[in-house]
Amino acid sequence: MFFRRDETRPPFRKRSGPAADLSFSEEQAVGGGMFTRRALLLLAVQTGVMGTLAHHLYEMQVVHGDELKEQARRNRTSRRQIAPARGEIYDRCGVLLAGNRPNWRALVMTEETTDLQAVVDRFATIVPLDERDRARIEHDRKHIRRYVPLTLKEFLSWDDVARLGLNAPTLPGVLIDVGTTREYPLKELLSHIIGYVAPPNEADVQRDGIMALPGMKVGRAGLEQTQESHLRGQPGTVEMEVNAHGRVMGELERVEGQPGSRLELTLDTVLQTRIKDRIGERVASAVVMDCRNGEVMGLVSTPSFDPTLFDGGISRTQWNSLLTDQRTPLVDKAVSGLYPPGSTFKPAVALAALRAHAITPSDRFSCPGYYDMGGVRFHCWSRYGHGSINLHQALKYSCDVYFYQVARRCGMESIHEAAAILGLDGALPIELPHVRSGSVPTPEMRRRHGHHWNGGDTVNAGIGQGLVQTTPLALATYVSRLATGRIVQPHLLRSVSGREIVPTPEPLPFAREALAAARGGMFAVVNEPQGTAPAARLNLPGVQMAGKTGSAQVRNVPRALRESGHFNSMNLPWQYRPHALFICFAPYDNPRYAVSVVVEHGNAGATEAAPLAAQIMTDTLIRDPASRTSLSRGVVARADGLDD
């Protein structure tokens, strides 16, 4: 090794001898000791740092590895719940009554955008938003939880979807989603029964946070409302990949929700269509029941409405138009319309009197055309009276005076009890909302409500007028029970997700002879000479029907006008004419079906409601597979077309 000489120092002289060797060894020893301590200190620092790093790496990769991995995944993904498909509804023959169709909609993940208003404004330049859309978006922004997607626009066209796809980089947090919207193929035909769905309100969301999900709907009427728990289903989930700017890059995983239950109804839509065609432009309602088990096969109320109007939110103009229509299209008259039953109530009065042993079928009462009580004259519909008649004749002629006297003899309490057994008083357990209860009051019930009861109230109740009110559904239930002698309950559900509903009706607490007397009088109404409903006879070989007419006044007629002989209710304005009613069952010797018809302001049950009921019963019997073998070949040939 060579060293450059330092001129400022004296020349190096090599020491010799023992002293020189000892001095050099000491310097080496001192330098080596300092190097060793520094190396050890540095090694210790390095070991500590590496140990700390190793510990942190162990914690990150082993102890907290799964947690950090999930956090990293969440930073690049967005998970949300998706609304399930609503359960479908079918009729007894498998015809779809309420289903679902695809609905393309634009959503925005509010968590993925820093300026929601700017995104909405930018979106509106691509897909126009009207005032209702903007008001809804502003409302949802304030009330919906931030992690729930906010709906910008529903029912997008393919052009809308394409434009949004091209402008996706400028719409952070916006994504296109496909959901479902409710579809009612038969529209007005079943709107009162099926009902409709609408977007949830704030109360719905507070009760169940799932209702805030885009695409969720709530049943607002009919079976959609009462069967909400069956039809709603369980939500699914979808996981999407997003970039640092919140733009959705793609869908990673989708788990579809559990759809709602499938409902099968007792209704026959072919028969339902036929009934509606039979009614035509009348303001009316009709109910067809299988009187053996209570299955409602037809339930029509006219006029009706289109339920699809409510799916996306109905406009105020449309809503006001429906509300102000004097024909009340939003009201299901078959279950919510209350009417005096008129003379259709007389078989119930007869059963009440027979059950109370107040009369026998052979007891006779005289009808001179009127009945005087307490200075008040109560008229029979026949000015000339019916003479001395028994129960069979009184039902056949529909004599008012006979039933005035029977009602007074048996008392209102007995009439109320029999009417309740027959389904005319109180609520019926059918699967529909807003079902109104029939009312057959008693003196004690009236007194509890602060009203006076007099003998005239009992007399009027004897012919189904005054304070007695009922619904077409209750009338059909009443005649079904009378025909079969069993307490059948009306129902619309036949099965839920394949689970069948099988009712077991109990016997009526009436004597067999009493039921036979009431049925015999109803048979005479249709089939015997001078009966009030010859127009209701069936034109089917070997099939006979029993029925009862009714005309229910909606206003009082002055005594002088009635006794003048010049009164004709057909000359009154439409809204003041009596309601026309008819109830019936067939075949008479083996009852299978019951029908009730109410034509609002139809004037006379014999001329307006009875022929209509006969047509409906004929259609029902022809639709019945069990009856086709007993009908002639010519009649059976018409079964599919249901032609006259």
pLDDT at position 320 is 78
State how many domains the chain has.
2
User: Average pLDDT, stretch 474-485?
Assistant: 97
pLDDT of residue 313: 64
Does residue 33 or residue 379 have the better pLDDT?
379
Residues 397 and 382 occupy one common structural domain: yes
pLDDT of 244 > 80? The answer is: no
Q: How confident is the model at residue 22 (pLDDT cuts 50, 70, 90)?
A: very low
Total residues belonging to the chain:
644
Give Cβ neighbours of residue 5 (< 8 Å, ≥ 6 apart): 11
Is the model more confident about 327 or about 95? Answer: 95
Same structural domain, 112 and 179? yes
Compute the mean pLDDT over every residue in the chain, rounded to the nearest whole number: 84
Q: Is the pTM of this model over 0.95?
A: no
Residue 387 has pLDDT above 90, yes or no: yes
Domain-embedded: residue 109: yes
Q: Does residue 19 form part of some domain?
A: no
Most confident residue range from 226-235, 588-597, 629-638: 588-597
Contacts (Cβ under 8 Å, ≥6 apart) of 425: 416, 419, 437, 438, 439, 440
Whether the per-residue pLDDT at 198 is higher than 90: the answer is no
In this structure, of 22-31, 320-329, 403-412, the range with the lowest mean pLDDT score is: 22-31
Burial 400-413 (b: 16+ CB within 10 A, else e): bbbbbbbbbbbbbe
User: Which pLDDT score is estimated for 29?
Assistant: 53
Task: Compute the distance between CA of residue 66 and CA of residue 567 in angstroms, rounded to an integer.
Answer: 91
Q: pLDDT tens, 113-140?
A: 888 889 999 999 999 998 888 888 888 8
Instruction: Point out the catalytic residue in the list 78, 304, 336, 343.
Output: 343
Which CATH number belongs to the domain containing residue 234 in this structure?
3.90.1310.10
The whole-number pLDDT of residue 633 equals 36
Same domain, 334 and 368: yes
Nearest to 308 by CA among 228, 231, 220, 232: 220
Q: What percent of the chain has pLDDT over 90?
A: 46
Closest CA to 581 of 620, 619, 554: 554
Residue 165's pLDDT band, with cuts at 50, 70 and 90, is confident
- 439, 466, 445: which is closest to 378 by C-alpha? 466
pLDDT tens by residue, 437-452: 999 999 998 888 888 8
The pLDDT > 70 percentage for the chain reads 83
The more confident residue out of 305 and 163 is: 163
Q: Is 401 in the same domain as 503?
A: yes
**612-642 pLDDT, tens per residue?**
999 999 999 998 865 544 443 333 333 333 3
pLDDT score of 217 more than 90: no
Question: Are 347 and 231 found together in one domain?
Answer: no
- Specify whether 115 is located in the same domain as 242: yes
| Same domain? 163 vs 297 | no
In a shared domain, residues 225 and 293: no
Specify the pLDDT at position 464: 94
Residue 231 within any structural domain of the chain:
yes
Determine the average pLDDT of the residues in 100-119.
86
Q: Give me the mean pLDDT over the 468-481 stretch.
A: 96
Backbone angles phi, psi at 499, to 5 degrees: -85, 115
Q: How far apart are CA 612 and CA 609, in angstroms?
A: 5
**24 falls within a domain:** no
pLDDT tens-place string over residues 486-528 = 999 999 999 998 888 888 889 999 999 999 999 999 999 999 9
Same-domain status, 254 and 363? no
Q: Give residue-wise pLDDT tens across range 268-325.
A: 999 999 999 999 989 999 999 999 999 999 999 998 877 777 766 667 777 777 777 7
Between 208 and 195, the more confident residue is: 195
Domain containing 156 equals 80-265
Same domain, 256 and 184: yes
pLDDT of residue 226: 94
Least-confidence region, from 360-364, 476-480, 494-498: 494-498
Query: Are residues 239 and 130 both part of a single domain?
Result: yes
The pLDDT score that the predictor gives to residue 610 is 95
Q: Which pLDDT value is given to residue 360? A: 95
Q: What is the DSSP letter of 232?
A: S
What CATH number is associated with residue 620? Answer: 3.40.710.10
Which pLDDT value is given to residue 170? Answer: 87
Q: Give residue 543's identity as a one-letter amino acid code.
A: V
Q: How many CB atoms lie within 10 A of CB 283?
A: 21
More confident residue, 555 or 282: 282
Inside any domain, residue 61: no
Residue 388 pLDDT greater than 90, yes or no: yes
pLDDT at 565 over 70: no
Cis omega (within 30 of 0) for bond into 303? yes
Task: Give the model's pLDDT for residue 257.
Answer: 79
Q: Residue 322: exposed, middle, or buried by beta-carbon count in 10 A (0-12, 13-18, 19+)?
A: middle
Once rounded to an integer, what is the mean pLDDT over residues 558-576?
Answer: 63
Can 23 be counted among the known catalytic residues? no
Between helices 610-623 and 269-279, what is the axis angle to 10°?
Answer: 160
**pLDDT for the residue numbered 640:** 34
- Residues 251 and 335 placed together within one structural domain of the fold: no
For residue 352, tell me if it sits in a domain: yes
